Each structure stands twice: as C-alpha cells, then as structure tokens.
Amino acid sequence: MNAITPSTSLLPARAGLGLKPEHVGEILDTEPDVGFFEVHAENYMGDGGAPHRALGEIVARYPLSLHGVGLSIGAERPLDTAHLARLRALIDRYRPRSFSEHLAWSTHESGFLNDLLPLPYTESTLRRVADNVDQVQQAVGRQMLLENPSTYILFEDSTIHEIDFLERVAARTGCGLLLDVNNVMVSAVNHRADPFAYIDRFPVERVGEIHLAGYDETMDGAGDRLLIDAHGSPVSDDVSALYRHTIDRAGPLPTLIEWDNDVPAFPVLLAEAARAEAVLDSAKSWRDARLARRA
C-alpha cells in the first residue's frame, strides 16, 4: 500500500449543493453564500465548451466536490484505465477539495448500465473493491471517499455487514467514507433494519462528507414498504431527523443536498441547504460551548 495523503475533510463543514447547468448564470450573478458545490465528474469529461467554462467560474468562487458515478468500483471486470486517466485530468485541472465514488457497479462487457448496482458483501468482493479503491487512489493521486449505497435487494451469499465492509475497505486502503443518510434510510426501510442503529455503528471518524436527498415510496411484491432513492424531492422528515442524529454523533460535516431529477428553481435548493446549515450551526455552537466550558 503506497502512501496516500489523507485529506478526509477538506470541504468546509457547511451545506453544499449539486451544480446544475440551468442555475450557473444565477449563481454567478448573485454569488449566494453556499458552502461548496458538487458536480458529477462524468458531465465534465467533454473536451471543452460551456460546461468547462461554467465549472472554471464556479471553482474561482466556491470549494468544489467531485463526485464520480461511472467508475464501477464493484464490478467483476477490471477498472477502465481510460476513465481513470480522464478523472486524473479533471482532478488536476479543477483541484476539487474532495473526490468520491460509490460502492456499486455499473459496467459490464455489454456496456455501461447507467445505474448504481448492488454487490454481495463477501471476503472475495471485499478484496476486489479494496484493490480497486487502491488503484483509483494511485491513479488520481489522492484519497477518495467511498459512498454507502441505497439498495432494493439482498444477496444470499453476503456474509459481511455493510458497515464492516466499508470500514474494512477504508482501513485497508486509507480511503475516507461518504455517508449518504438518505441511502441509510432507504436501505434500512427496504431491508427491515434500524437506520438509527446503522448511524450509531458507522465509523463517523472516517466520514469526509454527508449526502442528503429525497426518496420516493412504493410497495414491493408482498406489500412491504419499498423506498426508492430518487433525488427528485425535498429531504423527508425522517431523513432530516436521522441527519440531526448523525451530526449529534459525528459533529459538523460537509453536507450535500442532492437534487438531480425534476430540478427546482435555485431558491428551492438554497432553502434545502439552509435547513441543513441550521443543523450544522447548532452542532457548532454546542461544540464551541463545550470547548469553552473545558477551557
């Protein structure tokens, strides 16, 4: 294992927003007080044009988080070295404060499936994921954060709890973790688990960023609740409560509002960010008061 510079929390412990092309003009005109912006790496892998111009203007004003959705770290096939080279070039060009990807797979011999697909948690998949995370960090020259997935199914051959899986990958590779609190709620409801117990067990000291989003709700074949990770609505009340619980336990952490589908007007996103920021502010004042008492 080669040394990777640890940089788990270079983003400010504030609320950030996903950058949408339709909002760039308003953001540059009004320069709202947003903690950071996050973009999907793959959307900025063209050669030039308006996307790069916009991203250049944003990074001149705000911290950037780069979030990959196409590396397919959980795939059975080798990582795509051309894609790793594109990522490296993007990271060298824009110097994001954070780079993150998913515990999932999306590529196959037949092509790119454009969804974050689940994998069983076994000793063999753990070795493969850790090897891939190692390879990614070497290729891009920095630490990455690995995100917990939202899932709709389980695998009979899984033998390792998801939290232990993530923690062992992080311990072996030195990667940080991205804790998606909406994903925790979605998976917990879908698999009849306790989301608060999940947060209480999660290695929060390894977390470099939090994601929040809205979910959709439906029913499975037996009429059981089935939550869908939809990124197309406000953060729900139960996820907001779980988020407060997370920040109470972990302290203030960079927190992204993900809203990728049916994207609303920018002020709606700002209001979502303000809700998260209020939770972070109360945690900061509580922490400061505690430090003052100790002094």
Instruction: Enumerate binding residues for other proteins (CB under 8 A).
Output: 42-43, 45-53, 69-72, 75-77, 80, 82-83, 105-115, 117, 119-120, 152-157, 190-193, 219-222, 224, 226, 228
Nearer to other proteins, 128 or 206 (CB): 128
Please tell me the distance from the alpha carbon of residue 24 to that of residue 56, in angstroms, as a whole number.
11
Please tell me the distance from the alpha carbon of residue 77 to that of residue 80, in angstroms, as a whole number.
9
Please tell me the distance from the alpha carbon of residue 283 to that of residue 194, in angstroms, as a whole number.
23
Nearer to other proteins, 1 or 113 (CB): 113
Q: How far is the CB of 42 from other proteins (least distance, A)?
A: 5
Closest listed residue to residue 181, CA positions, set 200, 167, 159:
200
Q: How far is the CB of 51 from other proteins (least distance, A)?
A: 7
Please tell me the distance from the alpha carbon of residue 11 to that of residue 7, in angstroms, as a whole number.
9
Q: Are 260 and 230 in contact (CB under 8 A)?
A: no
**Coil/strand/helix, residue 51:** helix
Nearer to other proteins, 124 or 285 (CB): 124
Q: Are 184 and 195 in contact (CB under 8 A)?
A: yes
Within 8 A by CB and 6+ apart from 284, the residues are: 13, 252
Q: How far is the CB of 84 from other proteins (least distance, A)?
A: 11
Please tell me the distance from the alpha carbon of residue 202 to that of residue 239, in angstroms, as a whole number.
16
Q: Residue 165 carries which side chain, given as an amino acid letter?
A: F
Nearer to other proteins, 149 or 254 (CB): 149
Q: How far is the CB of 169 from other proteins (least distance, A)?
A: 18
Q: How far is the CB of 46 from other proteins (least distance, A)?
A: 3
Tokens of 113: 């499936």
For strands 105-108 and 111-117, give the pairing: antiparallel
Closest listed residue to residue 226, CA positions, set 192, 203, 260:
192
Nearer to other proteins, 96 or 254 (CB): 96
Tokens of 241: 């409560």
Q: How far is the CB of 211 from other proteins (least distance, A)?
A: 18
Q: How far is the CB of 48 from other proteins (least distance, A)?
A: 4
Nearer to other proteins, 70 or 208 (CB): 70
Q: Which helix (H) or strand (E) holds 134?
A: helix 123-140
Question: Taking the CB of residue 19, how many other CB atoms lie within 10 A of it?
Answer: 23
Q: Which helix (H) or strand (E) holds 113?
A: strand 111-117
Nearer to other proteins, 223 or 292 (CB): 223
Q: How far is the CB of 136 from other proteins (least distance, A)?
A: 14
Question: Taking the CB of residue 51, how many other CB atoms lie within 10 A of it?
Answer: 16
Nearer to other proteins, 111 or 291 (CB): 111
